[in-house]
Homo-oligomer: A and B are copies of this chain.
Amino acid sequence: MSQRRRGYARPLDLGGKVDLSHGAGGRTAAQLIEQLFAAALDNEFLAQGDDGAVLPMPPGRLVMSTDSHVVSPLFFPGGDIGCLSVHGSINDVAVMGAQPLYLAAGFILEEGFPLADLARIVGSMGQAARDAGVPVVAGDTKVVERGSGDGVFITTTAVGVLRDGLNLSGSRAQAGDAILISGHIGDHGMAIMACREGLGFASPIVSDTASLHGLIADLLASGAAVHALRDPTRGGLATTLNEIAAQSAVGMLLREDAIPLRREVAAACELLGLDPLYVANEGKLVAVVGGNDAERALAALRAHPLGRDAAIIGAVHVDPQHFVQMVTAPGGRRMVDWLAGEQLPRIC
Protein backbone atom coordinates (compact mmCIF):
# COMPACT_ATOMS: atom_id res chain seq x y z
CA MET A 1 0.00 0.00 0.00
CA SER A 2 2.25 2.74 -1.26
CA GLN A 3 1.27 6.22 -0.20
CA ARG A 4 1.97 8.08 -3.37
CA ARG A 5 2.04 11.83 -3.16
CA ARG A 6 0.52 13.31 -6.26
CA GLY A 7 -2.16 15.75 -7.16
CA TYR A 8 -5.62 14.54 -8.12
CA ALA A 9 -8.10 16.48 -10.17
CA ARG A 10 -10.82 15.84 -7.58
CA PRO A 11 -10.91 14.53 -4.05
CA LEU A 12 -12.28 10.99 -3.67
CA ASP A 13 -16.10 11.09 -3.87
CA LEU A 14 -17.41 9.30 -0.78
CA GLY A 15 -20.83 9.19 -2.41
CA GLY A 16 -19.33 6.79 -4.96
CA LYS A 17 -18.89 3.06 -5.05
CA VAL A 18 -15.97 0.68 -5.36
CA ASP A 19 -15.27 -0.20 -8.98
CA LEU A 20 -12.77 -2.59 -10.54
CA SER A 21 -10.27 0.19 -11.22
CA HIS A 22 -9.82 0.65 -7.47
CA GLY A 23 -7.96 -2.66 -7.42
CA ALA A 24 -5.98 -2.27 -10.63
CA GLY A 25 -2.79 -0.64 -9.38
CA GLY A 26 -3.20 2.54 -11.41
CA ARG A 27 -4.15 6.11 -10.63
CA THR A 28 -7.62 5.35 -9.26
CA ALA A 29 -6.22 2.73 -6.92
CA ALA A 30 -3.49 5.11 -5.79
CA GLN A 31 -6.09 7.78 -5.03
CA LEU A 32 -8.16 5.34 -2.93
CA ILE A 33 -5.05 4.32 -1.02
CA GLU A 34 -3.87 7.86 -0.42
CA GLN A 35 -7.17 9.57 0.37
CA LEU A 36 -9.04 6.80 2.19
CA PHE A 37 -6.65 4.16 3.57
CA ALA A 38 -3.54 6.20 4.31
CA ALA A 39 -5.60 9.06 5.74
CA ALA A 40 -7.37 6.78 8.23
CA LEU A 41 -4.45 4.52 9.13
CA ASP A 42 -1.83 7.27 9.09
CA ASN A 43 1.53 6.29 10.59
CA GLU A 44 5.19 6.78 9.76
CA PHE A 45 5.67 3.18 8.58
CA LEU A 46 2.76 3.08 6.14
CA ALA A 47 3.96 6.44 4.84
CA GLN A 48 7.25 4.87 3.68
CA GLY A 49 5.40 4.04 0.47
CA ASP A 50 7.44 0.99 -0.55
CA ASP A 51 6.36 -2.60 -1.22
CA GLY A 52 7.29 -3.69 2.30
CA ALA A 53 7.41 -1.67 5.51
CA VAL A 54 10.78 -1.46 7.27
CA LEU A 55 10.26 -1.64 11.04
CA PRO A 56 12.33 -1.50 14.19
CA MET A 57 12.33 -4.83 16.03
CA PRO A 58 13.21 -5.19 19.70
CA PRO A 59 15.15 -8.31 20.74
CA GLY A 60 13.13 -11.45 21.48
CA ARG A 61 11.23 -14.11 19.62
CA LEU A 62 8.80 -13.11 16.88
CA VAL A 63 5.13 -14.08 17.23
CA MET A 64 2.94 -14.05 14.11
CA SER A 65 -0.75 -14.74 13.56
CA THR A 66 -3.27 -14.13 10.80
CA ASP A 67 -7.08 -14.02 10.63
CA SER A 68 -9.47 -13.54 7.76
CA HIS A 69 -12.66 -11.67 8.64
CA VAL A 70 -15.93 -12.27 6.78
CA VAL A 71 -18.40 -11.20 9.46
CA SER A 72 -21.96 -10.50 8.34
CA PRO A 73 -23.41 -7.94 8.90
CA LEU A 74 -20.40 -5.66 8.54
CA PHE A 75 -21.73 -3.25 11.19
CA PHE A 76 -23.14 -4.53 14.48
CA PRO A 77 -23.76 -3.21 18.02
CA GLY A 78 -20.37 -2.66 19.60
CA GLY A 79 -18.27 -2.66 16.45
CA ASP A 80 -17.77 -3.48 12.81
CA ILE A 81 -15.49 -5.61 10.63
CA GLY A 82 -12.83 -2.88 10.84
CA CYS A 83 -12.17 -2.83 14.58
CA LEU A 84 -12.92 -6.57 14.81
CA SER A 85 -10.13 -7.34 12.36
CA VAL A 86 -7.68 -5.28 14.42
CA HIS A 87 -8.69 -6.88 17.72
CA GLY A 88 -8.74 -10.42 16.34
CA SER A 89 -5.15 -10.58 15.18
CA ILE A 90 -3.79 -8.57 18.09
CA ASN A 91 -5.41 -11.03 20.50
CA ASP A 92 -3.93 -14.08 18.79
CA VAL A 93 -0.46 -12.61 19.30
CA ALA A 94 -1.22 -11.34 22.82
CA VAL A 95 -2.39 -14.74 24.12
CA MET A 96 1.10 -16.06 23.39
CA GLY A 97 2.32 -13.55 25.98
CA ALA A 98 3.83 -11.36 23.26
CA GLN A 99 3.71 -7.59 22.92
CA PRO A 100 1.84 -6.89 19.65
CA LEU A 101 3.86 -4.48 17.48
CA TYR A 102 2.55 -4.21 13.93
CA LEU A 103 -0.45 -5.10 11.78
CA ALA A 104 -0.87 -5.73 8.06
CA ALA A 105 -4.29 -5.68 6.39
CA GLY A 106 -5.46 -7.16 3.08
CA PHE A 107 -8.83 -5.95 1.74
CA ILE A 108 -10.98 -7.83 -0.77
CA LEU A 109 -13.71 -5.45 -1.93
CA GLU A 110 -16.77 -6.24 -4.00
CA GLU A 111 -17.49 -3.99 -6.93
CA GLY A 112 -20.34 -1.64 -6.01
CA PHE A 113 -19.54 -1.44 -2.29
CA PRO A 114 -20.24 2.10 -1.03
CA LEU A 115 -17.04 4.10 -0.48
CA ALA A 116 -18.68 5.79 2.51
CA ASP A 117 -19.07 2.40 4.23
CA LEU A 118 -15.48 1.55 3.38
CA ALA A 119 -14.33 4.85 4.88
CA ARG A 120 -16.29 4.10 8.05
CA ILE A 121 -14.74 0.62 8.32
CA VAL A 122 -11.19 1.82 7.70
CA GLY A 123 -11.75 4.68 10.14
CA SER A 124 -12.79 2.16 12.77
CA MET A 125 -9.66 0.12 12.05
CA GLY A 126 -7.51 3.19 12.45
CA GLN A 127 -9.14 4.07 15.76
CA ALA A 128 -8.79 0.52 17.09
CA ALA A 129 -5.14 0.40 15.98
CA ARG A 130 -4.38 3.74 17.68
CA ASP A 131 -6.21 2.68 20.85
CA ALA A 132 -4.16 -0.52 20.90
CA GLY A 133 -0.90 1.21 20.04
CA VAL A 134 -0.39 -1.21 17.14
CA PRO A 135 -0.15 0.55 13.76
CA VAL A 136 -1.29 -0.90 10.42
CA VAL A 137 2.05 -0.73 8.60
CA ALA A 138 1.27 -2.58 5.36
CA GLY A 139 -1.81 -3.22 3.28
CA ASP A 140 -3.24 -4.36 0.00
CA THR A 141 -6.55 -3.90 -1.80
CA LYS A 142 -8.15 -6.11 -4.40
CA VAL A 143 -11.53 -5.69 -6.06
CA VAL A 144 -13.70 -8.55 -7.34
CA GLU A 145 -16.71 -8.30 -9.61
CA ARG A 146 -20.19 -7.83 -8.20
CA GLY A 147 -21.43 -11.21 -6.99
CA SER A 148 -17.92 -12.65 -6.49
CA GLY A 149 -17.52 -11.27 -2.98
CA ASP A 150 -19.72 -9.83 -0.26
CA GLY A 151 -18.97 -6.19 0.45
CA VAL A 152 -15.64 -6.40 2.18
CA PHE A 153 -13.42 -9.13 3.59
CA ILE A 154 -10.39 -8.14 5.67
CA THR A 155 -7.42 -10.36 6.47
CA THR A 156 -5.18 -9.00 9.18
CA THR A 157 -1.80 -10.29 10.29
CA ALA A 158 -0.20 -9.24 13.56
CA VAL A 159 3.39 -9.63 14.64
CA GLY A 160 4.72 -9.13 18.13
CA VAL A 161 7.75 -9.78 20.25
CA LEU A 162 7.95 -12.36 23.03
CA ARG A 163 10.47 -11.86 25.78
CA ASP A 164 12.85 -14.67 26.59
CA GLY A 165 11.82 -16.96 29.42
CA LEU A 166 8.07 -16.61 28.87
CA ASN A 167 6.47 -19.69 27.35
CA LEU A 168 2.70 -19.98 27.13
CA SER A 169 1.01 -22.71 25.15
CA GLY A 170 -2.19 -24.67 25.00
CA SER A 171 0.03 -27.68 25.67
CA ARG A 172 1.12 -26.48 29.13
CA ALA A 173 -2.07 -26.99 31.15
CA GLN A 174 -1.56 -29.50 33.98
CA ALA A 175 -3.59 -31.26 36.63
CA GLY A 176 -4.37 -28.94 39.51
CA ASP A 177 -4.47 -25.79 37.35
CA ALA A 178 -7.37 -23.37 37.66
CA ILE A 179 -9.37 -22.19 34.63
CA LEU A 180 -10.46 -18.54 34.51
CA ILE A 181 -12.52 -16.48 32.11
CA SER A 182 -12.22 -12.70 31.97
CA GLY A 183 -15.97 -11.98 31.70
CA HIS A 184 -19.36 -12.85 30.21
CA ILE A 185 -19.42 -15.39 27.40
CA GLY A 186 -21.24 -15.29 24.08
CA ASP A 187 -21.66 -11.52 23.73
CA HIS A 188 -20.10 -11.18 20.28
CA GLY A 189 -21.81 -14.13 18.67
CA MET A 190 -25.22 -13.22 20.02
CA ALA A 191 -24.81 -9.54 19.04
CA ILE A 192 -24.30 -10.76 15.47
CA MET A 193 -27.13 -13.29 15.63
CA ALA A 194 -29.55 -10.78 17.17
CA CYS A 195 -28.77 -8.43 14.26
CA ARG A 196 -29.31 -11.13 11.68
CA GLU A 197 -32.50 -12.46 13.22
CA GLY A 198 -33.88 -9.02 13.98
CA LEU A 199 -34.23 -9.81 17.68
CA GLY A 200 -35.09 -6.81 19.81
CA PHE A 201 -34.23 -6.76 23.50
CA ALA A 202 -34.81 -4.08 26.13
CA SER A 203 -31.03 -3.80 26.39
CA PRO A 204 -29.47 -4.70 23.03
CA ILE A 205 -26.66 -7.25 23.01
CA VAL A 206 -23.34 -5.55 22.34
CA SER A 207 -20.26 -7.29 20.93
CA ASP A 208 -17.34 -7.55 23.35
CA THR A 209 -14.78 -6.96 20.57
CA ALA A 210 -11.64 -5.57 22.23
CA SER A 211 -7.85 -5.84 22.27
CA LEU A 212 -6.71 -8.00 25.16
CA HIS A 213 -2.98 -7.24 25.34
CA GLY A 214 -3.36 -4.71 28.16
CA LEU A 215 -5.37 -7.15 30.27
CA ILE A 216 -2.85 -9.89 29.55
CA ALA A 217 0.10 -7.68 30.45
CA ASP A 218 -1.52 -6.98 33.83
CA LEU A 219 -2.16 -10.68 34.40
CA LEU A 220 1.44 -11.59 33.60
CA ALA A 221 2.73 -8.75 35.78
CA SER A 222 0.78 -10.14 38.74
CA GLY A 223 3.35 -12.92 39.06
CA ALA A 224 0.72 -15.67 38.82
CA ALA A 225 2.02 -18.85 37.15
CA VAL A 226 0.22 -18.54 33.80
CA HIS A 227 0.39 -21.74 31.72
CA ALA A 228 -1.95 -21.09 28.80
CA LEU A 229 -4.00 -18.19 27.45
CA ARG A 230 -6.56 -18.23 24.65
CA ASP A 231 -9.28 -15.98 23.32
CA PRO A 232 -12.35 -18.18 22.80
CA THR A 233 -13.55 -16.96 19.39
CA ARG A 234 -15.14 -19.28 16.80
CA GLY A 235 -16.51 -22.35 18.53
CA GLY A 236 -16.68 -20.48 21.83
CA LEU A 237 -15.44 -21.44 25.27
CA ALA A 238 -16.23 -25.14 24.78
CA THR A 239 -14.08 -25.49 21.67
CA THR A 240 -11.19 -23.52 23.17
CA LEU A 241 -11.14 -25.67 26.30
CA ASN A 242 -11.32 -28.87 24.26
CA GLU A 243 -8.35 -27.64 22.22
CA ILE A 244 -6.30 -26.99 25.36
CA ALA A 245 -7.37 -30.30 26.95
CA ALA A 246 -6.32 -32.19 23.79
CA GLN A 247 -3.03 -30.31 23.39
CA SER A 248 -2.12 -30.77 27.05
CA ALA A 249 -3.52 -34.31 27.34
CA VAL A 250 -5.59 -33.45 30.42
CA GLY A 251 -9.23 -33.39 31.49
CA MET A 252 -11.22 -30.38 32.67
CA LEU A 253 -14.20 -29.95 34.94
CA LEU A 254 -16.22 -26.71 34.74
CA ARG A 255 -18.89 -25.35 37.06
CA GLU A 256 -21.81 -24.01 35.02
CA ASP A 257 -22.97 -21.64 37.73
CA ALA A 258 -19.54 -19.98 37.80
CA ILE A 259 -19.49 -19.08 34.10
CA PRO A 260 -20.50 -15.43 33.59
CA LEU A 261 -23.43 -15.15 31.19
CA ARG A 262 -25.58 -12.07 30.61
CA ARG A 263 -29.30 -12.54 31.03
CA GLU A 264 -30.07 -11.18 27.55
CA VAL A 265 -27.45 -13.45 25.93
CA ALA A 266 -28.91 -16.45 27.73
CA ALA A 267 -32.40 -15.45 26.55
CA ALA A 268 -31.28 -15.00 22.94
CA CYS A 269 -29.47 -18.35 23.01
CA GLU A 270 -32.58 -20.06 24.34
CA LEU A 271 -34.75 -18.42 21.69
CA LEU A 272 -32.43 -19.55 18.89
CA GLY A 273 -31.62 -22.96 20.33
CA LEU A 274 -27.93 -22.19 20.80
CA ASP A 275 -25.59 -23.21 23.61
CA PRO A 276 -23.65 -20.14 24.84
CA LEU A 277 -20.62 -22.36 25.48
CA TYR A 278 -20.21 -22.59 21.68
CA VAL A 279 -20.89 -18.94 20.86
CA ALA A 280 -17.96 -16.75 19.77
CA ASN A 281 -16.33 -14.12 21.95
CA GLU A 282 -14.05 -11.41 20.61
CA GLY A 283 -12.80 -9.75 23.77
CA LYS A 284 -12.60 -12.51 26.36
CA LEU A 285 -9.61 -14.29 27.77
CA VAL A 286 -9.35 -17.88 28.97
CA ALA A 287 -6.46 -18.31 31.40
CA VAL A 288 -5.10 -21.58 32.77
CA VAL A 289 -2.97 -20.84 35.81
CA GLY A 290 -1.33 -22.80 38.62
CA GLY A 291 -3.98 -23.75 41.17
CA ASN A 292 -2.26 -21.90 43.99
CA ASP A 293 -2.27 -18.68 41.95
CA ALA A 294 -5.95 -18.72 41.00
CA GLU A 295 -6.98 -15.91 43.37
CA ARG A 296 -4.00 -13.77 42.47
CA ALA A 297 -4.78 -14.15 38.77
CA LEU A 298 -8.46 -13.42 39.41
CA ALA A 299 -7.59 -10.23 41.27
CA ALA A 300 -5.29 -9.08 38.45
CA LEU A 301 -8.01 -9.67 35.84
CA ARG A 302 -10.70 -7.94 37.90
CA ALA A 303 -8.51 -4.88 38.39
CA HIS A 304 -8.57 -4.23 34.62
CA PRO A 305 -11.65 -2.70 32.93
CA LEU A 306 -11.87 -5.64 30.50
CA GLY A 307 -11.75 -8.19 33.35
CA ARG A 308 -14.20 -6.72 35.86
CA ASP A 309 -16.47 -9.77 35.61
CA ALA A 310 -13.69 -12.37 35.58
CA ALA A 311 -14.35 -15.68 37.32
CA ILE A 312 -12.70 -18.98 38.20
CA ILE A 313 -14.81 -21.44 36.25
CA GLY A 314 -13.16 -24.82 36.69
CA ALA A 315 -10.06 -26.92 37.15
CA VAL A 316 -7.74 -29.24 35.25
CA HIS A 317 -7.35 -32.88 36.23
CA VAL A 318 -5.78 -36.09 35.00
CA ASP A 319 -7.92 -37.74 32.30
CA PRO A 320 -6.43 -40.04 29.68
CA GLN A 321 -9.48 -39.34 27.49
CA HIS A 322 -8.98 -35.53 27.63
CA PHE A 323 -12.65 -34.89 28.27
CA VAL A 324 -14.07 -31.49 29.16
CA GLN A 325 -17.01 -31.97 31.53
CA MET A 326 -19.28 -29.61 33.41
CA VAL A 327 -21.18 -29.73 36.70
CA THR A 328 -24.51 -28.25 35.64
CA ALA A 329 -26.45 -25.72 37.66
CA PRO A 330 -28.93 -28.39 38.85
CA GLY A 331 -25.97 -30.48 40.03
CA GLY A 332 -25.61 -33.10 37.29
CA ARG A 333 -22.56 -33.65 35.14
CA ARG A 334 -22.40 -33.45 31.36
CA MET A 335 -19.87 -33.70 28.57
CA VAL A 336 -18.79 -30.46 26.89
CA ASP A 337 -17.83 -31.88 23.52
CA TRP A 338 -16.21 -30.31 20.47
CA LEU A 339 -18.52 -28.34 18.28
CA ALA A 340 -19.68 -30.71 15.54
CA GLY A 341 -20.73 -29.12 12.26
CA GLU A 342 -21.68 -25.53 11.67
CA GLN A 343 -23.22 -23.45 14.40
CA LEU A 344 -22.85 -19.80 13.45
CA PRO A 345 -21.44 -19.03 10.02
CA ARG A 346 -19.63 -15.74 9.36
CA ILE A 347 -19.50 -14.69 12.97
CA CYS A 348 -16.05 -13.12 12.61
Residues of A participating in the B interface, judged by any CB pair closer than 8 Å: 2, 4-6, 19-21, 23-30, 48-57, 59-70, 91-93, 95-96, 98, 101-102, 104-108, 137-145, 147-150, 153, 155, 157-162, 168-171, 230-231, 233-235, 239, 243, 246-247, 278, 280, 338-346, 348
Q: Shortest beta-carbon distance, A172 to chain B, in Å?
A: 10
Given A26-B239, A54-B63, A54-B162, A49:B339 Cβ within 8 A: no
Decide if B67 touches A63 in the complex (CB within 8 Å): no
In the bound complex, residues from chain B placing their C-beta under 8 Å from that of A50 are 95-96, 168-171
Decide if B28 touches A341 in the complex (CB within 8 Å): yes
Number of copies: 2
Of A23, A30, A48, A65, the most chain B CB neighbours within 10 A belong to: A65
Decide if A141 touches B243 in the complex (CB within 8 Å): no
Decide if B233 touches A25 in the complex (CB within 8 Å): yes
List 26 A-B pairs, Cβ < 8 Å: A5-B246, A20-B342, A26-B343, A27-B338, A27-B340, A29-B235, A30-B338, A50-B168, A51-B230, A52-B65, A52-B92, A52-B96, A57-B61, A59-B59, A62-B102, A65-B104, A65-B138, A66-B104, A66-B139, A66-B140, A66-B155, A68-B106, A68-B107, A70-B108, A108-B108, A149-B150
Give the residue of B25, B26, B65, B70 whose beta carbon is less than 8 angstroms from that of A53. Answer: B65
Decide if A140 touches B61 in the complex (CB within 8 Å): no
Decide if A57 touches B52 in the complex (CB within 8 Å): no
Decide if A106 touches B137 in the complex (CB within 8 Å): no
In the bound complex, residues from chain B placing their C-beta under 8 Å from that of A168 are 50
Q: Shortest beta-carbon distance, A108 to chain B, in Å?
A: 5
Decide if A150 touches B150 in the complex (CB within 8 Å): no
In angstroms, Cα B23 to Cα A257, docked, is: 30
In angstroms, Cα B230 to Cα A57, docked, is: 23
In the bound complex, residues from chain B placing their C-beta under 8 Å from that of A70 are 108, 142, 144, 148
Decide if A340 touches B26 in the complex (CB within 8 Å): yes
Q: Shortest beta-carbon distance, A187 to chain B, in Å?
A: 17
Decide if A55 touches B62 in the complex (CB within 8 Å): yes
In the bound complex, residues from chain B placing their C-beta under 8 Å from that of A144 are 70, 150, 153, 345-346
Decide if B27 touches A339 in the complex (CB within 8 Å): yes
In angstroms, Cα B52 to Cα A91, docked, is: 9
Q: Shortest beta-carbon distance, A262 to chain B, in Å?
A: 22
